[in-house]
Amino acid sequence: MKSVKDVQRKEYYIFSPFLRIFHWIMVASILILFGTGLLITKPALVSSTEPTFTVMSMDLIRDIHFITAFVFCASFILRIYGFIINKGDRLFPRFWEGHFYSETVEVALHYMLLKPHHAPFLRNPLARASYAGLYLMVAIEILTGFAMYFMTEPSAIGGALFGWVNTLLGSEMMAHYVHHYVAWLIIVFAIGHFYMVLRAEFMEGEGEVSSMFSGKKVLAHVPKDANELD
Amino acid sequence: MQKRESLLEAYLKRGFSRRAFLKGCVTLTSLMGLSMNMVGKVVEAAENTPLPVVIWIHGHECTGCDESFIRSASPLASDLVLTSIALEYDHLLSAACGAPFEAHLDETIAKYNGQYILCVEGAVSTKDNGIYCMSGGHTFTHLLEKAARGAAAIIAYGSCAAYGGIQAAKPNPTGSAGITNFVGGKPVVKVPGCPPIPEVMTGVVMHVALFGTIPPLDGDGRPKQFYGNRIHDTCYRRPFFDAGMFAETFDDAGARAGWCLYKLGCRGPETYNSCGNLRWWQGMSYPIQSGAPCIGCSNSNFWDEDPLTDRMPKYGKLGDVDKIGAGIAAATAVGVAGHAVASLVQRNKRDNLLEEHDDH
């Protein structure tokens, strides 16, 4: 049996440092935001503690949540800059091109274990579609989050910018619900994403995991989307 | 009422001194949520502006707003109704009834066309041509459209008039809705609450009456001076929230000690009202002060955001979103583990095939 190491491979530089740094900021942010978010919805029980010396400070947890949220939002500057200067960072699914659908179906069939392999890609179309879904969920979190955060002062600029979200959803409580539900969807995405990346690493040996550190992947065959980097 | 008198004339006619009148104006200024340097303008308006004609109609509701209104202490609702406004028509407070009463409404609308204030309590029932809420032989929708046409200003009192109210809760059998879409596009001052705070009710109508303009409104059409803050941000229990000290049940030590009611579903963080600063019955108390979590009764959809004693909705035996989410996450983890095993089998098969292919 041939080891993945015996195969002649070519190195492709795909992800700019800006995307990679953004990615890891996003990982940390999502974990912190999810943890603190759960605690904000259901504060931990402080029993048998003298209240003055309580370790569970809602104020602190909320501050961590808010600061992390601002850092996460600010990190999109890196993502956008990388998008502008580097073609490899442009991960939007090309659904306006016909081959996108047939390729996505092919990859999906492979993941359903119905096809032994799929055509090689630098950034496979199904994964790219899922990232678009992630950005949509993040956008919902940002909009509902700021809609709740800024409404301490509804007539200030923040309230004016994001207050419409509450109106659109019908009530501010609904913004809380949506924010919380979508947070769970993001976690489910993260589990799936974590697995799919590890799986690709072990199945294809193309450096899927290290690509998010080095920016490079190593492929044995010419990928179908190689022309997108030219 | 042939010649409409001003507030000053009403005071003098009843034997009050000008000093009493000025005191009344100071009280009114604070009630309307205005700063004290507005007193001069209030006095000026109260001296010269003829008392406004008010038509007060009731739709699909429980008249609880009126129960609140008649308990207004400063000004006393009786003072407001008898001396501060010319209340020409009110379903609940009028002694008259029947055809003459309805005829009087038509007369008032014709005589003061474009000048009267229309106060509306209660939702509009829209289903089956509105037959679930009838008034004087006509649907309430008919009455509202008729009265709104000539109104100088429209005030929607209560969550029913503002958003549809309790009867709009799922499945909303009568098709209840707020009045906004049934007043011919006229601006509506929303004074939500179930019921609204009495002093807020009198404060808003006095603002319209004295200045002839509607008070500054937020994006949702609510007067900023009364609905500009969350209850959470004005709550005297807020320090307990920040410190993470919560009542876990309604009868634990935390509840007795007056800790934050957040974990018992308090809607203070989502609710805009004056309960935290004005409080009820002349500042005596308000729900949170008496140990009951806020239910968000001035919110647009509070009746469907149950359970009111919990932060997140529950789905029967499945529990709330955290339970379901944890379940889905665990199922996903198990699923990918199974998929990993299947993938390895698949890879071995593929590699074997390739090897056979190479051998030939």
Predicted complex ipTM: 0.86
Q: What is the pLDDT of residues A87-129, one digit of tens each?
A: 888 888 888 888 888 888 988 988 888 887 788 888 889 999 9
Specify the pLDDT at position B233: 92
Pairing of β B188-191 and β B117-121: unpaired
Q: With CA atoms as reference, report the closest residue to B66 among B31, B99, B90.
A: B90
A1 belongs to a structural domain: no
Query: Which of A171, A201, A221 is best to mutate for the B interface (most B CBs within 10 A)?
Result: A171
Any B CB within 8 A of A114 CB: no
| pLDDT (mean) for B146-172 | 93
Q: What is the mean pLDDT of chain A?
A: 89
- What's the rounded Cα separation, in Å, for the pair A87 and A166? 37
Per domain, the residue ranges of chain B are 52-199+218-225, 229-311, 319-359
Provide the CATH number for the domain formed by B229-311 in this structure.
4.10.480.10
Residue A174, Cβ neighbours under 10 Å: how many?
20
- Does A2 reside within a domain? no
Using CB atoms within 10 Å of the CB of residue B69, give its burial: 0 to 12 exposed, 13 to 18 middle, 19+ buried: buried
Interface check for A5 against chain B (CB to CB < 8 A): the answer is no
- More confident position, A52 or A34: A34
Strand segments, DSSP code E, in B122-184 are 124-125, 134-135, 138-139, 153-157, 176-177
Q: What is the CB neighbour count within 10 angstroms for residue B13?
A: 10
Q: Is A32 helix (H, G, I), strand (E, B) or coil?
A: helix
Does A38 score more than 50 pLDDT?
A: yes
Contact B263 A43 (CB under 8 A): yes
Q: What is the pLDDT of residues B241-262, one digit of tens each?
A: 988 889 999 998 889 999 999 9
Residue of A113, A151, A177 with shortest CB distance to B342: A113
User: Is A178 inside any structural domain?
Assistant: yes
| Number of domains into which chain A is organized | 1
Q: Does A31 lie at the interface with B, CB-CB under 8 angstroms?
A: no
The span from the CA of B131 to the CA of B35, in Å, is 46
CB A120 within 8 A of CB A110: no
Is A192 touching B (CB cutoff 8 A)?
yes
Average pLDDT over chain B, rounded to an integer: 89
Joined tokens for residue B6 = 């001003």
Rounded to whole angstroms, the Cα distance separating B201 from B318 reads 43
Cβ neighbours of residue B77 closer than 8 Å, sequence gap 6 or more? B69, B70, B71, B198, B202
- The secondary structure of residue B246, as a DSSP letter, is B
| pLDDT value for B24 | 85
Cα A16 from Cα B14, distance rounded (Å): 83
Reference A195, options A212, A181, A213, A209; nearest CA is A209
pLDDT confidence of residue B6: 84
Q: What is the predicted pLDDT for the residue at A80?
A: 95
Q: What range does the domain containing A145 cover?
A: 7-46+56-224
What residues of chain A lie within 8 A of the CB of B346, using their CB? Answer: 113, 116
- CB nearest to A154's CB, from B218, B302, B344: B218
Measured CA to CA, the distance from residue B194 to residue B59 in angstroms comes to 15
Domain B52-199+218-225 has CATH 3.30.70.360: no
Tell me the nearest-neighbour CA distance from B258 into chain A, angstroms.
13
- The answer to whether B302 contacts A46, with C-beta atoms less than 8 Å apart, is no
Mean pLDDT of B46-71: 89
Domain assignment present for residue A123? The answer is: yes
Query: Cα(B63)–Cα(B32) distance, rounded to whole angstroms?
Result: 23
Consecutive H or E run containing B154: strand B153-157
**Lookup: tokens for A31:** 């974990």
Chain A to chain B Cβ contacts (< 8 Å): 119
> In a mutagenesis test of the B interface, which of A1, A172, A185 is the best target, namely the one with the most B β-carbons within 10 Å?
A172
Is the pLDDT at A1 greater than 50, yes or no?
A: no
What average pLDDT does this structure show over B136-163? 92
Nearest CA in chain B to A39: B244
Per-residue pLDDT, A4: 56
| CATH, residue A118 | 1.20.950.20
